[in-house]
Structure 1
């Protein structure tokens, strides 16, 4: 299911929003977890077990790290999380690529099955990794209840396309959140803005770009090639930023504050500034969990 689907707009979202607002406060996390798993299962139900398995492992690893005082055991628990999460990501997303590369370099072909790619696996893998690392570093408390941790991992409005949310950014909202009509109205308008970007701008830009880029090169022109390239860049930006706007808006409607993900990157004055403004949650993830630990600054 995607946000632009009529089933989402006219059935799923009104039903979940109404139920979330109507039930007692202590039931709201359960409502969102159930809704998120239904949302995720809409495309391929079998992958629900994978996201629940990943969350189950990291929930218990996080609690084990928080309870342990011996350094070597804390590192061992962290290593378990890294191996499980990166192993799942490599298996489902990169096993075919690695097997093809090995065959091209050596002629040896590994009997690797072609696995379907679970939706959102990159996003929830990065989130679960960031949680365990933050618990290890003492930057967040280990989540007490598995249901609450599963909500952090599987929130439907940021599961498929981000932004990548870190546990300290959302822990307060998981524990307690209040709903106000001002926030709901603001979030709904942000959602509509993102929906317009996706459906009316990104999709149309992509359709027009294909007219130029898919044309016969022999009959193409330089102007047509440039037009196709510009339209394609617009499609990419409005597609990604549209989904981020919809996720942030839905978060507000349900009482969460999600981080901004795009800051007008095409107005940047340098490549460095562009990457600071483009998919900021992903860039900050690699900076804080990979680049700086490896010696960057």
Structure 2
């Protein structure tokens, strides 16, 4: 009787262990499905990250192009103001040349030489921007700040030159004419004088209009630059949010992997218990059979 009771108890334990084993297998399947879903979500988030990165690169390139255009416009405005100054003001005594203007005049050929090279290297620059995005963002922000400071300095210089043109008194009367030139040169000057007199008012009329148009274009470019900066900030915020979501998904994935490992360990323990119970059951059956056989003899 005791052997029979032990056999029944062992059978019940086996059934319970089998049920636990089935439950663990179901949990493992569920966790595997959750892991697959998390992997799909991670892939979607990576794709969503790639789109703002490409937009960010395009915006940075547009910002650089706009800043180059602004620099060229400011240089053109400076040249126009200097031309107005030469036409409307008397020749001043030779002062020491301004360092900033000399620096700009020296940098202008270098910029014009580097512009085709930059256009040729744009694909390589795009690849480098994709690989080193965070570092380039910091460097580009510093570059934008420096270029904005340079634009402010150029605008200040332009305003000073305009005030100099507008506020200085008219030129003094010209000095007495030099001795008459030779007859041929005098005839040539007399022939060219009407043409010069006709062209000078037209030039004086067109220069302020051109200056005004350039100023309007400069304002439009500045507004576009501000809009691009706002878009850049929004894209950076979107990238940060997507990165946070990706980190959360990675943490969930790690937790699910840990749970899977724990369930696997429990499954192994249950299998070992099942094997032990089966062995014990076999031993009890053998003992019962041997005892019954001995009793029958």
TM-score (structure 2 length as normaliser)? 0.23
Bigger radius of gyration among the two: 2
- Structure number with greater CO (CA < 8 Å, separation at least 6) is 2
Q: TM-score with structure 1 length normalisation? A: 0.23
